[in-house]
A and B are shown apart, each in its own frame.
Chain A
Amino acid sequence: MEPSQKLLEFVRRMEGAFGKQSIIELKDISNDAIQLAALKSSHLLSEVSLIAYSLHKLLTKVHIAESGEWDALRDEIEKDLDSALEMIGKNDLKGFEKALHGVIGGIAAVDSELGNYVQGTYDKARIKQASRAYSFGISLSRAAELTGADKKELLQYIGATKMHDEEIVKFGIGERLKELKKALGK
């Protein structure tokens, strides 16, 4: 079951942080939301996390903030955030999800009109926060499914982090290699 109260709290925080253009707060909201999403297997919390992460990312880009089109695009995103807040306040999860998709559409519009990369901000957020979810202990596929991240990209992203260096090794390469040779009869 989706945690409506938590969703309400997160979207309220996110709307406030976006209004204040608080980059750090948006990132914190995103990280808090993905942690809870992993715990509760909540797709809506995951979407909230990805949106907060994307908004944080957009606000860090000077060429976006300084463009003439940004004000209008930002207004659209704020409208959809208002709508999401209203829907979750009424416990209308379908309406809430639709409003979130409106925000995601707004982020895509910014990418399309002002972005420099083929891969969109929201897709990058999927990978980044899926990696974070994986770091909390859920499996690779579960993290990919929760965020909609591509598994191959996720693997590569995780490979570039220090995550696997933090593990205490139970069986090293030498021991596992012995098992492999044993199985193959060598």
Chain B
Amino acid sequence: MKMAKLVFDTSSLISVSENCLMRIISAISSEKNAELIIPEGVYYESVAHPLQIRRFELNALRIKDAVDSGAIKIMKLNAAAKNSAKSIESLANNLFEISGEKISLVHAGEIETLALSHSINADLIVMDERTTRMLVEDAYRLRDRMEEKYESKVDIDTEKLAELQGMFAGAKIVRSVELIAYAYEKGYFEPELKKTRLALEAALYAAKYGGCAVSLEEIQQFLKSAR
């Protein structure tokens, strides 16, 4: 069976670890057909850096343990991925403009995740952050949102957008809430939590209030159909 490659960004990793749900990561990783990967920059942001700050040490240790146990693999950007990163940065950060002013939307951390996903042809990108996800999935909606907030016309460079969309055609993005929903179905909450609807609901809300870009409506809609 083909090994599924899931590339995580910092937001999703923090979200999962913050809610003491690292066992989900270990359980998915132990399915033997999934490879959970983070770029070096994500390791720095979620482990190496916060380990130096008392308030954030515990969370960083949870992620470090998952890396040390082999549940999460750190991957360096090779030359091709570095080239992809350059292209993504140039496209994403020159895509929108207001009154001739280009808007620098995304940062090296998010770019690294996208570049690695692109270069290894990842099956899924795991990302709780909203802007980068919308950039890949629906740049026009992101543009509309920015127009609303800035109360100004936001122009899109359609050639750059086409190129960016070409790089991520078919890319699938999931968030920590989908990992939680999957873990619930598979019984991965146990033994810490019983497989109950209440446990699912609590875990989904915890992810949302931890910063996962998911709406209350989405959660409520999903819970209606969840068994």
A133 nearest CB across to chain B (Å): 10
* Residues of the A chain whose Cβ atoms lie less than 8 Å from the Cβ of B104: 41, 138, 142
| A74 at interface, CB cutoff 8 A | no
* Residues of the A chain whose Cβ atoms lie less than 8 Å from the Cβ of B128: 155
Report yes or no: A185 in contact with B10, Cβ–Cβ below 8 A: no
CA distance A166 to B217 in the complex (A): 10
Report yes or no: A184 in contact with B103, Cβ–Cβ below 8 A: no
Take A41-B104, A145-B107, A151-B14 as given contacts and tell me if A169 and B218 are in contact as well, using a CB distance cutoff of 8 Å: yes
| A63 at interface, CB cutoff 8 A | no
Report yes or no: B215 in contact with A138, Cβ–Cβ below 8 A: no
| B156 at interface, CB cutoff 8 A | no
CA distance A144 to B4 in the complex (A): 31
Report yes or no: A35 in contact with B174, Cβ–Cβ below 8 A: no
For this complex, 12 residue pairs linking A to B, each with C-beta atoms less than 8 Å apart, are A39-B103, A40-B101, A137-B145, A138-B131, A140-B130, A150-B53, A151-B14, A151-B45, A158-B211, A168-B141, A174-B221, A177-B178
* Residues of the A chain whose Cβ atoms lie less than 8 Å from the Cβ of B219: 173
A114 nearest CB across to chain B (Å): 22
* Residues of the A chain whose Cβ atoms lie less than 8 Å from the Cβ of B187: none
- Across the two chains, which residue of chain A brings its CB closest to B122? A183
Q: Mark A167-178, 1 if CB is under 8 A from B, else 0.
A: 111111110110
Report yes or no: B182 in contact with A141, Cβ–Cβ below 8 A: no
- Across the two chains, which residue of chain B brings its CB closest to A175? B178
Q: Mark B191-227, 1 if CB is under 8 A from A, else 0.
A: 0000000000000100011111111111101100100
* Residues of the A chain whose Cβ atoms lie less than 8 Å from the Cβ of B106: 138-139, 141-142
Report yes or no: B222 in contact with A173, Cβ–Cβ below 8 A: yes
B209 nearest CB across to chain A (Å): 4
Binds A, one of B27-35, B68-76, B77-85, B160-168: B27-35
CA distance A144 to B211 in the complex (A): 14
| B61 at interface, CB cutoff 8 A | no
| A94 at interface, CB cutoff 8 A | no
> Is the interface on chain A under 10, 10 to 19, 20 to 34, or 35 or more residues?
35 or more
A19 nearest CB across to chain B (Å): 30
CA distance A167 to B50 in the complex (A): 30
A43 nearest CB across to chain B (Å): 12
Report yes or no: B150 in contact with A180, Cβ–Cβ below 8 A: no
Contacting residue for B142 out of A137, A142, A157, A184, CB 8 A: A137
* Residues of the B chain whose Cβ atoms lie less than 8 Å from the Cβ of A38: 103
CA distance A154 to B2 in the complex (A): 37
Report yes or no: B108 in contact with A141, Cβ–Cβ below 8 A: yes
| A20 at interface, CB cutoff 8 A | no
| B38 at interface, CB cutoff 8 A | no
- Across the two chains, which residue of chain B brings its CB closest to A131? B211
| A22 at interface, CB cutoff 8 A | no
- Across the two chains, which residue of chain B brings its CB closest to A173? B222
Contacting residue for B212 out of A159, A166, A172, CB 8 A: A159
CB within 8 Å of A: which B133-150 residues: 137-138, 141-142, 145-146, 149-150
| B6 at interface, CB cutoff 8 A | yes
Closest 5 CB pairs of A and B: A155-B211, A141-B107, A159-B211, A173-B222, A139-B131
